[in-house]
Structure 1
Amino acid sequence: MALIEHSNLEEYEDPVNYDLEFDGEMDKYQFYLELAKSSPGEVLELACGTGLTTIPISKAGITITGVDISSAMLAYARLKAEGLTVTFMEGDARTFESDKRFSMIYLTGNAFQAFLSNQDQIDLLTTVHKHLHPGGIFAFETRNPNGTDLSDQEETEWGSFIDKDGNNVKVSGTQCYDASQHIMHWVTMRDWGYKRTTSRIACRFTDSDTLNSLLTRHGFRIEHQYADWDKTPFSALSSSIISVCRKTDG
């Protein structure tokens, strides 16, 4: 999943190691696959990145298109998807245009938080609404600000992964929250042993009441909201808001 602010794209310049760090969320892949199966027709994933979720859905025999703003991520997605009937397109989710209409559109990887202004969010929802069939499904997840530690933090260990060359890469980072804009600024440091890299990312936090009002105003009815991929009902302090919506008008 590639974010839309210029600095956010720093996280997506190394797609092979991106997959090694972030792949393996099988519960999430299954969640979106089940949704796609429940809404027969073509599926669109916005901010698809390297196709971590797109490809499993394609392998299940569902016709799917993935759109992302990062050419590097898409190049690796196409390589991984060779032989599959999946289409990858470079584009911005705020301005994407297609003659196709889809039975389901989704974003994952908390990609909704990449849309950092009110207008960005409106433009995204306008794109989704325009490209859904009447009654089509729109699904996405976002971190819940009321269930997230938004305090400023100095460098903290976040974990590690094994890179494409077999190196153990230690991951750490800092966070700084701009409460006036509801935007978290993360700086991620990766220690490769022989080098140390730094990348920045910014994500907007939208509380559940604001989110639900936004969705309703732009033509979506919320059918379900969950706290996790096991479909635990969302509560005020859940760490995630997983929303499954339906387009309510033509």
Structure 2
Amino acid sequence: MRRSSGCCAPVWNCRRPWHGRRSSSFSRRCGIRRPITRPWRAGCRTGGRNVREWVALYHTHHSLEAEDQAFWLWLAEQSGGPVLELGCGSGRLTLPLAQRGRWVVGVDRDFDMLCYARDLAAHSGGRSPDWVQADFCHLHLAQRFALIFLACNTFSTLTCREQRAVLAVARRHLTGAGVFAVSMPNPLLLETLPPRGEPEVETVFAHPESDAVVQVLSEWRREGEVVTLRWYYDCLFPDGTTRRHELTARHRLQSLDSLRDLFEQAGLRLERQYGDYERHPFAADSPWLILTARSSTD
């Protein structure tokens, strides 16, 4: 089992609650269109010599849609200062921010993800982010940032201890008026999932580095306050051979009140609760829960 950190957690697109719909596909029921699970708490199973392939598949799949990108770009514009992305993965969000002229630092503990992101930056031209290989729960940088964010639903895949640690990191690295932001799937919607969803095809795309076709299947299990998501990347080659990569993420279901308490204990005051990337207020049937916070002492 290969575990990478700081990569993102599944991107959800729960436009409506599941109740009353007969769609059996995980991506249609819960709206997960791609496994934006920057595998911090996710597990990736792949052959060692195929790590580069896995990272390329991961990046390609995550880049099929970018509905969240405009939100993070907007938040960076509002901050007006340097930006720190925790769990930057393959640079899906870090690179566009830098290309808009922002000074951006991307942190991830997965060396292969960072190498891929650095290669993309080298070929894209323009301003390049600074890359830091580190565990974002134990980060110590000399710089302070106007915006620190943990995107792609990673926060809800962390243990309680890891959540406290990353909130302390954010508090320590924020400027006086700086903003910390996280996104996660709406826990109220996850609670409506049936206990089990069998593997079904989520999407198909062209292999980024060969003439193969990549078929992505997804499934889930809901047990108490935890929803476990799995994706299977099947590379189907023209000669009939196949190769599979697997990705697993476990989301903890936490209420907004418990999250508010967690932030306050870390010295952060919740400021906004959005329900989607168009910045609508959070509601019980929102697809996402996106939180922004500032230091409670400023």
TM-score, normalisation: structure 1: 0.90
Counterpart-to-counterpart distance in 2, 1:10 and 1:201:
12
1:157 aligns with 2:197: no
Residue aligning to 1:138: 180
2:145 to 86, 102, 105: 102
Counterparts of 1:171-210 in structure 2, within 5 Å, are: 171-179=216-224, 182-193=225-236, 194-197=241-244, 198-210=246-258
Equivalent-residue separation in structure 2 for 1:155 and 1:244 (angstroms): 34
Residue 178 of structure 1 and its aligned partner are, at CA, apart by 3.0
Residues 1-250 of structure 1 mapped to structure 2, 5 A cutoff = 1=7, 2-5=38-41, 8-10=43-45, 13=51, 14-82=54-122, 83=125, 84-115=127-158, 117-148=159-190, 149-150=192-193, 151-164=195-208, 165-179=210-224, 182-193=225-236, 194-197=241-244, 198-249=246-297
Question: Which aligned runs of 4 or more in structure 1 are off by greater than 6 angstroms?
Answer: none
* Residues 108, 114 of structure 2: 8 Å contact kept: yes
> 1:188·1:200 contact (CA, 8 Å) conserved in 2?
yes
Q: How far apart in 2 are the matches of 1:231 and 1:189?
A: 32
> Are the counterparts in 1 of residues 40 and 87 from structure 2 also a CA contact under 8 Å?
no
Match of 2:138, SS?
A: coil
C-alpha distance after superposition, 1:101-157 (max 9, x if no partner): 111100111111231x21111011011111111221011110112112442222222
SS of residue matched to 1:228: coil
Instruction: Provide the rounded CA distance (Å) in 2 between the counterparts of 1:195 and 1:9.
Output: 17
Unmatched segments (≥5 aa) in structure 1: none
Q: 1:202-240 deviations in whole A, cap 9, x for unaligned?
A: 232322221122122222222221111111211023221
Residues in 2 aligned to 1:169 and 1:43: alpha-carbon distance in whole angstroms? 34
Given that 1:21 and 1:162 are in contact with CA atoms closer than 8 Å, whether structure 2 keeps it comes out as no
1:24 CA displacement: 4.2
| Letter paired with 1:244 | T
**Cα pair 1:189 1:196 within 8 Å, conserved:** no
Give the match's secondary structure for 1:41.
coil
Gap regions ≥5 residues in structure 2:
1-6, 8-37
Q: Is 1:143–1:205's contact at 8 Å kept on the other side of the alignment?
A: no
**1:152-183: per-residue Cα shift (whole Å, max 9, x none)?**
2222222222211243322112212231xx33
Please report how far the alpha carbon of residue 76 of structure 1 lies from its aligned counterpart in structure 2 after TM superposition.
Answer: 0.5
Moved more, 119-128 or 238-247: 238-247
Shift of 1:200: 2.5
RMSD, aligned CA: 2.0
Secondary structure of 1:26's partner?
A: coil
TM-score, normalization: structure 2?
0.77
CA deviation profile, 1:27-82 (whole Å, cap 9, x unmatched): 31111111111112211000000110011010011100000111110001111112
Provide the rounded CA distance (Å) in 2 between the counterparts of 1:65 and 1:98: 10
Using the alignment, how far apart are the partners of 1:200 and 1:147 within structure 2?
A: 20
Are the structure 2 counterparts of residues 206 and 166 from structure 1 closer, same or farther at C-alpha, using a change threshold of 3 Å? farther
In structure 2, what is the Cα distance between the partners aligned to 1:233 and 1:94? Answer: 29
Report the 3-state secondary structure (helix = DSSP H, G, I; strand = E; otherwise coil) of the residue aligned with 1:81.
Answer: helix
Contact map agreement 1:225 1:233 (CA 8 A) in 2: yes
CA contact 1:45–1:64 (8 Å) conserved in 2 = yes
Matched to 2:276, the amino acid is D
